[in-house]
Structure 1
């Protein structure tokens, strides 16, 4: 029924939980090429951030499991939905599902990440404002959406990484997280991908590193825009440096 040596997925073992616009698609490329990793039929399942699924309290995980084809015996299963770290209810739901879940998180310069998200929304004709106007409108948009979070226009808020990780570390042991700096991933892809496989207790297979390509948006971020977002996020970046022992001076 399932093919020789294959079994249905019983439970997910790991999740790539963030951050959006931070190389999660590139990482997915490498994860798909490991013979002992089972991934779903599409990249982002958005299961644990689907508030309607969890509204009744009696959650069925069958829709999640059904997104996976039968996998080789001995494989581990994971998925890649980069909003999970940001979406406040997602991690408690994941803990209820599997308290031993492992998390891979890629963190990009939050100023560059915010600008990239804004560019994406402009390209999709969703965002009517210029970048700094959108940043200025964000607190009002968040307040209007409360108590729910904002998905499409959370340019700066998604970059409050320290706040998100502090929340995550209250729910899961820190050793269940591999936190990767996006800039290091781009500069040292092979080394980073091998570290991901080791974190998942897998031997790195032979693979070919591919050159990363940025999406060519209409324009680049301006100095005054970078400075304005830095003023908003510098406190959180300082907390992140303390939390992870990182030097994020290159993010300024």
Structure 2
């Protein structure tokens, strides 16, 4: 009885949040399995950044049920304008870059907001995503077990590449999530390129300090201290241990050939190449 009453009160308060609460100053938009979780945790520790919501994702722009609750519901996750002062606030959702309808919604609701995307070799990203979903079968949380992918990597990729396959691609989308050129072109239809900082996952891992400095410059905030960066290098988020089979190697080579054309278009769009 108490819970429904609280929910009813919250619904009455939601229209007030646009008056009192701050909207995010920037977003981490993806991609999945490309250190978005790690970067989120690093940024929450920056003295010029304030985060008040409990989870990195609000599931607002990528969840129609939440979006229907209204912009006030979304802003209820962020700090008050008074409490925020001059600090920045943000959220991180690796799915935002993927779904085609989201850039339009972001521009409509948040205006010319800054965004950060980390791109990972699409072959490695697909394999990492499969390993993640494949491991869900052993987790205690029911909602994750229900999304477990019990197929082998070869079976999953074969079904996604087969246009006649009736196998469900959602929520996996191992292949389409790696077509970054299509996703960025969609964003560039709504936002200037200067508003979206695109980073390389490999460079992020090889030189964390340089990548974080680049991000801080993009956000116009102070660089992290060397001590903080050294601490971050000891922390691991959403990491997993993979056991790679010889059968998987053959599939990965097939994917490398498949993604080649999309990667070339991406390099042209960005004006530089990655070692993919």
Query: Which TM-score applies when normalising by structure 1?
Result: 0.86
Pick aligned residue for 2:186 from 167, 171, 185: 167
The offset of 1:203, in angstroms, is: 1.5
1:216 alignment counterpart: 241
The 8 Å contact of residues 41 and 68 in structure 1, kept in 2 or not, is answered as no
Query: Counterparts of 1:1-252 in structure 2 under 5 Å?
Result: 9-39=21-51, 40-54=53-67, 60-70=70-80, 71-125=83-137, 126-138=148-160, 150-206=169-225, 207-209=228-230, 210-211=232-233, 213=236, 214-219=239-244, 222-248=248-274, 250-251=275-276
Larger Rg, first or second structure (1 or 2) = 2
* Unmatched runs of 5 consecutive residues or more in structure 2: 1-18, 138-147
The 8 Å contact of residues 208 and 229 in structure 2, kept in 1 or not, is answered as no
The 8 Å contact of residues 108 and 183 in structure 1, kept in 2 or not, is answered as yes
The offset of 1:72, in angstroms, is: 3.1
Q: Deviations over 1:108-152 (max 9, x none)?
A: 011000000000111012112111210121256998699xxx542
The offset of 1:205, in angstroms, is: 3.5
* Unmatched runs of 5 consecutive residues or more in structure 1: 1-6
The 8 Å contact of residues 111 and 159 in structure 1, kept in 2 or not, is answered as yes
Q: Deviations over 1:173-222 (max 9, x none)?
A: 11101000000000010110111111011122422333365411343674
Question: Closer, same or farther in 2 for the Cα pair 1:31/1:154, shift >3 Å?
Answer: same
| Paired residue secondary structure (2:64) | coil
Size of the aligned set, in residue pairs, is: 238
| Paired residue secondary structure (1:124) | helix
| Paired residue secondary structure (1:41) | coil
Question: Closer, same or farther in 2 for the Cα pair 1:83/1:142, shift >3 Å?
Answer: farther
| Paired residue secondary structure (2:202) | helix
State how far apart, in whole Å, the 2-side matches of 1:143 and 1:133 are. Answer: 11
Tell me which moved more, 160-169 or 136-145.
136-145
| Paired residue secondary structure (1:86) | coil
State how far apart, in whole Å, the 2-side matches of 1:220 and 1:107 are. Answer: 25
State how far apart, in whole Å, the 2-side matches of 1:232 and 1:13 are. Answer: 37
**Which structure shows the bigger proportion of residues in helix conformation?**
2
State how far apart, in whole Å, the 2-side matches of 1:155 and 1:10 are. Answer: 35
CA RMSD of aligned residues (A): 2.4
The 8 Å contact of residues 157 and 175 in structure 2, kept in 1 or not, is answered as yes
Query: Which TM-score applies when normalising by structure 2?
Result: 0.79
State how far apart, in whole Å, the 1-side matches of 2:105 and 2:167 are. Answer: 21
State how far apart, in whole Å, the 2-side matches of 1:143 and 1:13 are. Answer: 42
